[in-house]
Copies of this chain bind each other. A is one copy, B any other.
Amino acid sequence: MATQVAPELLIVMGAGATPAQTEHVVARLAEVGVSARVSRGREATVIGAIGERDLLASLPLEAYPGVEQVLLIVKPYKLVSRELAADPTVIDVNGRLLGDSHFGLIAGPCTVEYREQTLETARVVAAAGVTMLRGGAYKPRTSPYTFQGLGAAGLEILAEARAETGLPLVTELLDPRDVEAVVDTADVIQIGARNMQNFILLSEAGRSAKPVLLKRGPSASLEELLMAAEYVMKEGNERVILCERGIKTFETTMRYTLDLGAVPVLKQETHLPVIVDPSHAAGRRDLVLPLARAAVAAGADGIIVEVHPRPEEALCDGPQQIPADEFAEFAREVVSVVTLMGKTVG
């Protein structure tokens, strides 16, 4: 069994490629310091290349005449990779743990509408044993004519709910100009699905001292999600929580198709914890519990759900919010699966 050094990038030249085209690719690789080895077969000529990962990932080799396919053997991400850190990352948010055997149960209002709605919800979820409180002050909305959140005033109300319950607070950052205000109030900064590839926000979050909850975009591949997390980690912030919340597909009975296979796949690829948001995927309250249970059984490190005292009056996402008076029972059902999986809440 002869061995040699494995290629890190493979370039497959099409059946019609000329020797000169192959030589041209090899010459270009040599120019930038990448070593190459050519092998010829019945149908295709294959060039194996070895060099710096970043360099290999950025070469526009598909632009070269005769090139049919380019395959990167090395992964395009590194800091998020299992290969860098074999043990699962456990994130400590003011003493509440998330990751490995510690399950994060995160709940709260979709949006801060007014003080009493937020405090009432916070008390209910705290009493039911959640580990963190969620709530939005800045809301990204499809329509400019709908409620856009209370902004800074919402952050103040959330700070009060946090103080009263002692729960760490997860809230969304939308605008890089709000980063200081949000970081001051939040214990975990959420980057929403629509901003998963807002690289400006990712870098800002990466420079903050708070953990980041990063939601998968509705059309983002898992590799794109990991690359987005890499943006945060590259700036020095090692505490990133990934969140599956549904992808866009042809099926229209739910708002999004929840991709629970993403949970075990991500946990193989990365040491970062992976949680699931069943509320936004479902868009319907009656589906939240089955999907939450399924998420836990698939191996998720936590779930994040929305709760409202009177969902019928909610200014945002009412149909998917769990009524506050049903939340304790919801939490019990979820925790029974957490226990079966050999994990503990918090």
Contact = CB atoms under 8 A, between A and B. Distances in A.
Given A261-B257, A261-B258, A282-B261, A42 B222 contact: no
Copies of this chain assembled into the complex: 4
Interface string A240-283: 00000001111111100111111111001000000000000111
A73 B12 contact: yes
Q: Is the interface of A mostly helix, strand, loop or mixed?
A: mixed
A217 B203 CA distance: 21
Interface stretch (A95-103, A116-124, A137-145): A137-145
Contact of A227 (B26, B142, B223): B142
Nearest to A296: B297
- How many interface residues does chain A have, given as a range? 35 or more
Interface in A311-342: 311-321, 336-337, 340
A184 interface: no
12 contacts: A1-B38, A3-B39, A7-B41, A8-B43, A57-B143, A63-B321, A142-B227, A143-B227, A194-B197, A221-B252, A258-B260, A260-B291
Given A15-B83, A46-B73, A175-B200, 6 more contacts: A39-B48, A60-B311, A60-B317, A63-B314, A63-B320, A221-B251
